[in-house]
Structures are given as structure tokens and as C-alpha cells.
Structure 1
């Protein structure tokens, strides 16, 4: 059967919802065969984050060079910092049948949807806004003023979930991981994704039968 093209999986949601934590848990599974597309950002590195693993951390000038070179699938400015997805290797991996996983901000996800509408867009939502505020506070990296800005932004972003294919509530990390993996597995079984390879197999069978008759 013909090899199926890989899926572009886009996970996004408001700041503090736990996108990075859920993504890390997905990739900690030894059976995970997704390709993680590392995003670039101009924000400061947080404790425990690694260059080239969590993000490519760069200066504003370097990021704007990438914009000028059209080397980004998408980019957005969020709370004073740039975030973006480098183009390198994404199309190559998809063509090879590998699923590419993006963890990006909501603004960026909307731009990817415009360019690659066949992608799988998953919105990671908090159990409640009170819980989201607690997570932002417990992170200890932002001032009260920045947290207030992030909460106002979160309200706007949550209202955009209607533009996604799926919503996963991040209450328990393990449950969120299981739900995301189930979504991806089911998407691979959609009729439009498998019918061409099955039809090709049918055609090949009957062509061989015709040659032998």
C-alpha cells in the first residue's frame, strides 16, 4: 500500500495552560514516533529549558532576520516577544510519512491553519480560569502585571477555540496525553486518508490478474 503522508499536529492554548508539560509527556513515551518541530522565540529562557529542545532562543534582531528571509511557517508577537515556527524540515518529514508536532501560541496556530488547513488543530484548555491564574502565579516567572495581561489574553484566546478541530482539557496530564494520542490515531483512520492507498492496491491486484488471464 502507498505510504500515507504524515499529519501536521498543532497543539496550542493560552499561556500557562501546560502546553510544554503535556508535549514533554507525549514525547517521553518510548513508543512516540512524532517529530517535534522546535519553535523559535525571543523571550528569556526559563529555568530547566534547553536550547534546541524547548525552543531556539534568539535575539529580536536574529528573529527579524528569519522573518525577512521568509524562513518561518508562522510567527506572532505575544506579550512583547516573538514566537515562530522554522520551516526547515517540516515539509520533508510530512512527505516521508512522519507526523510533525507543533506546540505554538494561538496567534501562530491561526496562521498555520491558513497555510495548511488539512492539519490537525488541538486546543489545550485549562480546567478553569482560576486554575490557570494559579499555574501562572506558581510558575514564578512573571510579575502580577504580566500575569494580569496574560489572563486578559487567555480570555480572548479561549474564545477562539471554535476554530480548532478538538479541545482537550488539561486537568490531569496523563489523561490529556491519552486524549491527544487517541485523536491522532483516529485521524490516521479517516476514509479520505486511507482510501487512495487501498484503491491503489485494488487496481494493482486486478491489473496483475488481467496480465495472467
Structure 2
């Protein structure tokens, strides 16, 4: 399983899409209570659910990890993890996956500078206040997450999405070979 962690608009979702389209890898679809964006599809990008539905699933112990970000809930179900997919998480989610102590889980920190991320947020439809709030929240949330906590850090700037995805794929398969596991 590939676990991608990174600040808002660092490119996690776009890298996951490239891995899916180019390498036929499968992205774990997480549940969220946040509003659906214009180009997002329910059941493809996320499972968009109400807060009540989310809390019901959480009460049933359906999630490996859950988090609240900017007043919205996110969670990855055990069913998605069992299928060895790509999952996108925040630092708390990363900790939950690391606590599984599963050698099949390979972790990547996706990084971009704040200016690049701010521009991406505005392009995808966030307003200025939302973008600045996300950057501040990310600063607080990610300041203690360093490369030693993940297997690899991938620097992702606008012109390198494809190269970043290629690097994730190569490093993932290299790790699997080193662990004597079957590469993708």
C-alpha cells in the first residue's frame, strides 16, 4: 500500500491520479463530510457522506483512521486498506497506518512550497481566506513531520507532477523488491 501525506494542495491527489492512470494502481476512496467540489465525483474522488453517516461508520469501527480538518471529517475504511490501494492521509492518519506495523505500507511525504500551494488552492476554487487558513493549519500540523517519519519525501512543483508520480512508483517497487514482495 502506498500512503501519501502532505499539506493542502501539495499534489497528493494529482499524483495518485497519475499513478492510477499510468500505472493502473488503485486509489483508496476515503469518506468525507466536506462539500463536493465542482469536478469531483462521489465514489470516485471521495465517498461524500453526512456527518451523521460518518459518525455511524466510526461507531461501527469501520475506519482504520479518521481525522477532522477545517471542521470536516475524513476517514479510510478497513475495507479499502485490505485491498492494498493508494491512500491519502494527514499526519494523524499517517500515524494510524504506521501503528499497523505492516511492511507492505510504504509512506511518502509530498512537499511543495507555500507559494505554489497557495496558487493551486486559488486555481481549484478556494477563496483567499480559505487558502490562508489552510496554509496556517498546515504549518501547525506539519511542522514536526519530517523525512525520518516517512520512507521518502517527494518534492512536487507544478511542472513535475508526472516526474513526482514516476518517482513514487519506482521507489515503491524498489521497496517491495527489497522486502522480497511482489512489485506492482
Q: TM-score, normalised by structure 2?
A: 0.88
Cα shift at 1:75: 0.5
Q: Give structure 1 stretches of 5+ with no counterpart.
A: 1-7, 94-98, 198-213
2:157 corresponds to 1:189: no
Cα shift at 1:54: 0.5
Give secondary structure in 2 for the equivalent of 1:189: helix
Which of 73, 77, 89 is equivalent to 1:104? 89
Cα shift at 1:135: 1.2
Which of 164, 170, 175 is equivalent to 2:163? 175
Which of 19, 25, 30 is equivalent to 1:26? 19
C-alpha RMSD of the superposition:
1.9
2:123 corresponds to 1:138: yes
CA contact (8 A) 2:32 2:75 kept: yes
Cα shift at 1:112: 1.6
CA contact (8 A) 2:3 2:106 kept: yes
Aligned residue in 1 for 2:131 = 147
CA distance in structure 1 between the partners assigned to 2:36 and 2:99 by the alignment: 29
Aligned residue in 1 for 2:35 = 44
Q: TM-score, normalised by structure 1?
A: 0.77
What per-residue deviation string (whole Å, max 9, x for no partner) do you get for residues 191-213 of structure 1? xx229x9xxxxxxxxxxxxxxxx
Give secondary structure in 1 for the equivalent of 2:61: coil
Give secondary structure in 1 for the equivalent of 2:153: strand
2:62 corresponds to 1:76: no
Q: Give structure 2 stretches of 5+ with no counterpart.
A: none
Moved over 4 A (4+): none
What per-residue deviation string (whole Å, max 9, x for no partner) do you get for residues 148-199 of structure 1? 2211122231541331111001121111011101111101111xx229x9xx
Which of 42, 46, 49 is equivalent to 1:55? 46
